[in-house]
Homo-oligomer: A and B are copies of this chain.
Amino acid sequence: MPDVVYLGYMAAFCTTCSFVPQVLHILKTKDTRSISLGMYSIFVTGVFFWLVYGIIIKDAPIMVANVITLALSSTILIMKIRDIFRERKDQTATQSTTL
């Protein structure tokens, strides 16, 4: 494996590691209120593009970094979307009982 690939893996390790605590915090507290749906959607799309880019140019560090980040960030995005639907359902239920 050429030396530059090790550098890529070090980069991947650092940027993925620094993302993990935030993800674990959200998974633990199940609180997605501080997450912006718009920003997170753009981020997940970007990570998906990086992954496809890595696959096309056959770059292992880019693939590894983005497959992990995509798994983590899309989990949070799904939780956020689920919470939005739950809130709407609760609001509809409250409106029905007050009518």
Closest Cβ–Cβ distance, residue A36 to chain B (whole Å): 7
Within 8 A of B (CB), among A1-49: 4, 7-8, 10-19, 21-22, 36, 39-40, 42-43, 45-47, 49
Q: Is the CB of B15 within 8 A of A53?
A: no
Chain B: CB-nearest residue to A40: B18
A50-B11, A53-B61 known; A17-B4 Cβ under 8 A: no
Instruction: Label chain A's interface by main secondary structure.
Output: helix
Interface size on A, residues (CB 8 A): 32
Q: Using a CB–CB distance below 8 Å, which chain A residues touch chain B?
A: 4, 7-8, 10-19, 21-22, 36, 39-40, 42-43, 45-47, 49-50, 52-53, 56-57, 59, 61-62
